[in-house]
Amino acid sequence: MPLPFQKLHANGDDFMLVDARGRADPITGELARALGDRHRGVGFNQLVVLGDCPETAAQLTFWNADGSSLDTCGSATRGAADLLLRESGEPSVRVKTARGIQHCTRLDDRSVAVEMGLPQFAWQQIPLAQPLDTLALPLAGEPAACSMGNPHCTFFVDDLERVDVAKLGPQIEAHPLFPQKTNVHFVQVLDRQTIRLRIWERNGAIPLGSGSCSCGAAVNGIRRGLLDSPVRVLCDGGPVTVSWDGVGKVRLAGSVERVFSGVI
């Protein structure tokens, strides 16, 4: 059975989009893993499937390249919204994910903003293995933790260039404190509205960027009193902007670019 798809990226955070509206969702964990293989498949950080939804323009389902599912992906949500906005010609659109209904807005021809939902800070919501203060975990460097629908652990460092992300990231990701593992951020604060961010993703990679990780890092910096909203997040692949008033939903804004389309 032919499977049409599109390949997109958001500042290098690449993802595959499958439009399953009007038909059965063809993606399984096994197929997602095969498609995610960068040597034998398409290759991506995440895959997003658009399905029918009576409440919104589409239901979004996300997969990692290892075949595991996830509740949210800021980059892929922006990519799906970009497609839906181009179809409708409207300035905004709503989509539904496991995090609930998310409002997406066109900023310019290349950029989309999306509401990423409420951040969560309770230890059992992240989750952690035991009750702890999530603003300063009992690990070297006292990182902060939160959930954006997936777990995030943020270290604030003086010099990002001196951090061995490939060595430290896997150690923190698999620490017993995180029963579902965690995304790991290393953040250097450049000023109160700008950070430099490098990431070790929970599926075992150093991506050029990540929407949800950018949100988690900015939120934890605001909680710590280090940052003021909006925060410009400089990832290896380019910038995004995260806005959070300390109470409500997090807003993520950035560019999306189509790379190619094809049929498997």
Which residues in the chain land under pLDDT 70?
none
Ordered domains of the chain (ranges, CATH): 4-115+254-263 (3.10.310.10), 144-248 (3.10.310.10)
Backbone angles phi, psi at 97, to 5 degrees: -130, 180
Residue 263 three-state SS: strand
Residues 6 or more apart whose Cβ sits within 8 Å of residue 140: none
pLDDT digits (tens, 9 = 90+) for 203-229: 778 999 999 999 999 999 999 999 999
pLDDT digits (tens, 9 = 90+) for 2-34: 899 999 999 999 999 999 999 999 999 999 999
Calpha distance 171→83 (Å, rounded):
38
Q: Is the peptide bond before 2 cis (omega within 30 degrees of 0)?
A: no
Q: What is the pLDDT of residue 203?
A: 78
Alpha helices in the chain (DSSP H): 29-36, 74-88, 165-173, 211-223
Backbone angles phi, psi at 243, to 5 degrees: -120, 135
Please say whether the beta carbons of 105 and 112 come within 8 A. Answer: yes
Strands 13-19 and 46-51: parallel
Please say whether the beta carbons of 27 and 47 come within 8 A. Answer: yes
* Token pair recorded at residue 207: 């991506």
Widest CA span of the chain, in angstroms?
53
Q: What is the pLDDT of residue 205?
A: 85
Residue 182 three-state SS: coil
Q: What is the pLDDT of residue 219?
A: 98
Residues 6 or more apart whose Cβ sits within 8 Å of residue 261: 4, 5, 6, 7
Please say whether the beta carbons of 261 and 5 come within 8 A. Answer: yes
pTM of the full structure: 0.94
